[in-house]
Amino acid sequence: MGRPGKEVSLSRAVFLDRDGVLSRSLLRDGKPVAPTTVAEFELLPGVVDAVKQLHAAGFVLVVVTNQPDVRTGVTRLEAVEEMHRCLRDWLPVDDIKVCLHVDADGCDCRKPKPGMLLAAARERRIDLKNSWMVGDRWRDVETGKAAGCKTILVECDYAERRAESPDFTVKSLPEAVEIILKNQPSV
């Protein structure tokens, strides 16, 4: 807390899911799966410019991603870390939060629980009610809502449970960025 009479300034953030929003998800039986190697890891069209626009607008940019394939042995932690080094090289992101747990672990960080967003908010002084969660799955929308953020679903028509009541629905991150920039209070 600041001194009495001094207002503490909080930052606005955009929380970005990794696979399906920033990078291409692989599909198996209509369901999204994460790339398991750097060779499979590629950004989606328009992502670099979209993220640069958010950065230029002053948002704290935090990637929040569930990566249970490390725990289940489908991929190696080193491969996930290498993909994240690539993300940091390609995009002006401020942080990457990763949950390596599976649902059965009952952790607070695995989406749809808001643990990764709450941790980032504490560490980076983020105003969650003036922040956004952008994701491609129901888990992302529920995470954003649980943290008090506005939510944008990047619709991918996966063969799985549908997200309920996102604030906005789009087809790509560039469309999401347009909405975010149009719906920000002036500072």
CATH of domain 13-182: 3.40.50.1000
pLDDT band at residue 3 under the 50/70/90 scheme: low
Task: Kindly report the pTM of this predicted structure.
Answer: 0.93
- Judge whether residue 163 has pLDDT over 90: no
Q: Hey, which residues are catalytic here?
A: 17, 19
pLDDT band at residue 116 under the 50/70/90 scheme: very high
User: What is the C-alpha to C-alpha distance for residues 26 and 143, in angstroms, rounded to an integer?
Assistant: 22
Is residue 86 exposed (0-12), middle (13-18) or buried (19+ Cβ within 10 Å)?
middle
Domain residue spans in the chain?
Answer: 13-182
